[in-house]
Amino acid sequence: MSDIRPGQERFVAPIDETPLRAIDAVNVDAVPENQWKEAWKRLRTSPLFWLATAILLVIALMIFFPTLFTNADPKKLDLADSFEPGRKGHPFGFTEQGGDVWARTVYGARASVAVGVFTTILVAIVGIITGAIAGFYGGIVDTLLSRFSDIFFSIPLLLACIVVISVLNNTFPDRGFWGSVLVVVAALATFAWPQITRQMRGAVLEIKNLEFVDAATAIGASKMRNLRRHIVPNALAPVIVASTISLGVFIVAESSLSFLGLGFPTSIVSWGNDISAAQTQVRSGNNLQVMFIPAAALAFTVLGFILLGEAVREALDPKARKK
């Protein structure tokens, strides 16, 4: 104590006066949460997620319960009502053929969104399988799958779909609603899967060399079990984000094909068909609601899926949240 000068004294409180706080306690019996539970917790606090959910909920109600929005028949055409303004029960007026604009917009959601959903599912399945195999096994398998996907990736999506659908339209002219959906889905999925393959391959290449995979191998897990149980589930995050955003892109692609007269037959109510039929009104500048109403529904639907994709990306990617 002789070396301590006045004012330099240090006092240590007895241990019984400084107990361990509850906030510092660690519950060693708690089950650790996986990335999906943590992502869901972050999603629940995201305004972007709830905005996207609200938009997509309205679209879902249009698809499954269209009578909540209109009682009019979307296929009923009466030339006496051609370009008539809105009235009770028909808020946005009528098309050139006398069809109810709002009813056709509500019922048109079913065809357009069906193409987007089914194309996304098919593209995700093909992309996950091919990307996981290419990234995990590497070597000649990776080279062959990568070069094969590059061939499809280099072909413009819309141009390729125009060629494929033109051939299928001539082969199967009378195919009905679901047949038409299947043709468009097949054409889009055939040339859209390489993007998901690349995403999955990159994620698998990153994850397959991590410590938990080595630990699973050390306790006897086979390659296939490692791939199925450990690598693929942890590599799905970027694929889910890309697929969610691509869903909106596929809806726009279907509308573009229908606008060109190659998507759905004119007998099927869809947003693309209605926008295509309203081209003359856009040029003349009259009765623009005939085009703007289905175009607005298309835009809000695509916006909903893009916002959902951004919210999911922020929830699953910690680096994105820090930025």
Considering only CA atoms, which of 206, 183, 201 is closest in space to residue 122?
Answer: 183
pLDDT tens, per residue, the chain with 323 residues: 456 566 656 666 666 666 655 545 555 555 556 667 787 888 888 899 999 999 999 999 999 999 999 999 998 888 888 888 888 888 998 988 889 999 999 999 999 899 999 999 999 999 999 999 999 998 899 999 999 999 988 888 888 999 998 888 877 777 788 888 999 999 999 999 999 999 999 999 988 888 888 888 888 888 888 888 888 988 888 899 889 889 989 999 988 888 888 888 888 899 988 988 888 777 777 778 888 999 999 999 999 999 998 888 888 775 655 55
Considering only CA atoms, which of 265, 263, 267, 269 is closest in space to residue 72?
Answer: 269
| pTM for this predicted structure | 0.83
Please report the pLDDT score of residue 267 as a whole number.
84
Per domain, the residue ranges of the chain are: 51-322
Please report the pLDDT score of residue 21 as a whole number.
55
d(CA 183, CA 264): 9
Please report the pLDDT score of residue 11 as a whole number.
61
DSSP classification of residue 8: -
> Are 146 and 244 spatial neighbours (Cβ–Cβ below 8 Å)?
no
Residue 177: HSE in the Cβ half-sphere, 13 Å Cα cutoff? 9
Burial environment of residue 137 by CB neighbours within 10 A (0 to 12, 13 to 18, 19 or more)? middle
Query: How many residues does this entry show for the chain?
Result: 323
Please report the pLDDT score of residue 22 as a whole number.
52
| Fold entry, domain 51-322 | MetI-like fold (1.10.3720)
> Are 311 and 321 spatial neighbours (Cβ–Cβ below 8 Å)?
no
Please report the pLDDT score of residue 25 as a whole number.
57
- CA–chain centroid gap for 229, Å, is 24
Please report the pLDDT score of residue 194 as a whole number.
92
**Measured CA distances, 57 to 61, 70, 103 (Å):** 6, 17, 18
DSSP H helices, 138-270, are 139-153, 157-171, 176-207, 211-218, 223-225, 232-259
> Are 244 and 309 spatial neighbours (Cβ–Cβ below 8 Å)?
yes
- CA–chain centroid gap for 225, Å, is 28
> Are 263 and 269 spatial neighbours (Cβ–Cβ below 8 Å)?
no
Q: Give the bridge partners for 318, in sequence order.
A: none
Residue 226: phi, psi to the nearest 5?
Answer: -60, -45
d(CA 226, CA 229): 5
Residue environment code for 52-62, b if the CB has 16+ CB neighbours within 10 A, otherwise e: bbebbeebeeb
